[in-house]
Amino acid sequence: MDELACSQQRQKQRVVVGMSGGVDSSVTAALLKRRGYDVIGITFQMLPHEKEESACCNIHTITDAKRVCSKLNLPHYTINIRDTFRQHVIDPFINRYLQGQTPNPCVECNRHIKFDLLLQKANELGAEFVATGHYCKRTYSHRQDQYFLKKAKDLHKDQTYFLYMIPQAQLARTLFPLGNLLKPEIRALAHQFGLINANRPESQDICFITKDSYKDFVAQEVQTQDKATLPPPGKIITTSGEILGRHQGIHTLTIGQRKGLGIAAPAPLYVLKINPITQDVTVGYEDELATSFITLTQVTLVNPDIPILGKRFKMKSRYAMTPFFVTVHEHTPDQVVLKLRTPQSFVAPGQSGVLYDSDRVVGGGIITL
């Protein structure tokens, strides 16, 4: 098929682009239009009114997304999903902290918002694809008849850790135009396209926590929403049961925390365990933090037909970390148990554990201990 025919065929394919008002999603829309797609921009209005001074997802970024689409001559829609965002992202974030866990709201936002809802809108608009400005790659194997999710060319920006939950059906309809580009190249493209946000700095924070710390945010939300009660103060104990002091609620502490415990000891003590039933917080020395097994629940495999039991993979339990080797010790429909080649510290319940086979995302789940 010649280039003209390819272009004509691609013009028949409609794609809905999730636009945050930032440079990445804006360049995504511009690239797809240049490649001949029928592009529609959609921005989700997610934050409560009182949080709209956030560095992202605020009224100004929504306006910028509209201005980018106007510059590119693309239709743009803003959709209010505040209630859905609270139900699937903010409230679970609060509830996990109330249970003494360390959640990752960006994972849940991708799981429930940026792909599920985006595909729903794509279906309503008759679009074959959705696209986002995430740094990752989607590949396809004709031999295996499967799509694969792989790390981006720009490993410093790679976002696959937050995308492990995308199943085959969604991956087949999702485009990631930035996967083979470096951040400086994307900035340069934004200037070439004449986009107003070409030099906008990136936001690194959780969008709905604007000024407060996590514990202050949780406390304020519980009091405002009146949906739960804050965990009461409890005991800080050693592994042998000795009481060293008291804490102000398990929502104020995380596994591995050392500072702010308000206790004295000959050597630094770290939070080893948080018991949401007794409200006891167990502390100990750094070497006691190390674990040799990790259990994942709510497991999603990108390619479920590829066996993983007994296989060795690399794993990340936090986004910005060096991955470590694990072997799949057990695998049931409900969970995966991983054996670590080298014991790891600072692994907390509620975090996402993501498995990699070289640059391919195998899948992941929520860590329980």
Instruction: Please say whether the beta carbons of 57 and 22 come within 8 A.
Output: no
The pLDDT of residue 221: 87
Task: Match 């199943």 to its residue by tokens.
Answer: 167
Instruction: Report whether 364 contacts 299 (CB < 8 A).
Output: yes
**What pLDDT band is residue 55 in, cutting at 50, 70 and 90?**
low
Name which of 353, 98, 69 is nearest 218 in CA terms: 98
Domain match, 21 and 47 both: yes
Q: Is residue 83 part of a domain?
A: yes
Same domain, 277 and 323: no
In a domain, 296, yes or no: yes
Q: Is the domain of 59 the same as that of 92?
A: yes
Per-residue pLDDT, 5:
41
Q: Are 280 and 235 in contact (CB under 8 A)?
A: yes
Q: How confident is the model at residue 6 (pLDDT cuts 50, 70, 90)?
A: very low
What confidence tier does 212 reach under pLDDT thresholds 50, 70, 90?
A: confident
Whether residue 240 is found in the same domain as residue 350: no
Residue 208 · residue 51 · CB < 8 Å = yes
Task: Identify residue 353 by its one-letter amino acid code.
Answer: G
Distance, CA of 319 to CA of 316 (rounded, Å): 7
Q: What is the 3-state secondary structure (H, E, C) of 308-360?
A: CCCCEEEEECCCCCCCEEEEEEEECCCEEEEEEEEEECCCCCCCEEEEEECCE
Q: Are residue 116 and residue 238 in the same domain, yes or no?
A: no
What are the pLDDT digits (tens) for 123-160?
999 999 999 999 999 999 999 999 999 999 999 999 99
Compute the distance between CA of residue 108 and CA of residue 284 in angstroms, rounded to an integer: 31
- pLDDT above 90 as % of the chain: 77
Residues of 263-291 as b/e, b for ≥16 C-beta within 10 angstroms?
eeeeeebbbbbbeeeebbbbbbeeebbeb
What does residue 95 show for φ and ψ, rounded to 5 degrees? Answer: -65, -35
Asked if residue 201 belongs to a domain, the reply is no
Mean pLDDT (whole number) for 217-239: 86
As a whole number of angstroms, the longest Cα–Cα distance in the chain is 77
- In 3-state terms, what secondary structure has residue 351? coil
Q: What is the mean pLDDT of residues 352-368?
A: 97
Same domain, 75 and 183: yes
Q: Give catalytic residues, as residue numbers.
A: 109, 207
- Picking from 205, 274, 208, 204, the residue whose alpha carbon sits closest to that of residue 236 is 274
CATH number for the domain including 256?
2.30.30.280
Same domain, 46 and 112: yes
pLDDT of residue 168: 95
- 238 pLDDT more than 80: yes
Q: CB atoms < 10 A from the CB of 315, how many?
A: 21
What is the tally of structural domains in the chain?
3
Within 10 A of 189 (CB to CB), how many other CB atoms are there? 19
| In a domain? residue 139 | no
Together in a domain, 271 and 350: no
Least confident of 29-38, 116-125, 223-232, 308-317: 223-232
Shared domain check, 242 and 103: no
In angstroms, the CA 121 to CA 118 distance is: 5
Question: Which pLDDT value is given to residue 227?
Answer: 61
Report the pLDDT value the prediction gives residue 53, as an integer from 0 to 100: 55
Is pLDDT above 60 for 50? no
Would residue 202 count as lying in a domain? no
- Quote the domain boundaries for residue 119: 13-133+177-192
Residue 164 lies in a domain: no
Residues 5-14 as b or e (16 or more Cβ within 10 Å = b): eeeeeeeebe
Structure tokens at 360: 């391919």
For β-strands 76-80 and 38-45, DSSP reports them as: parallel
Q: Does the structure show a pLDDT above 60 at 9?
A: no
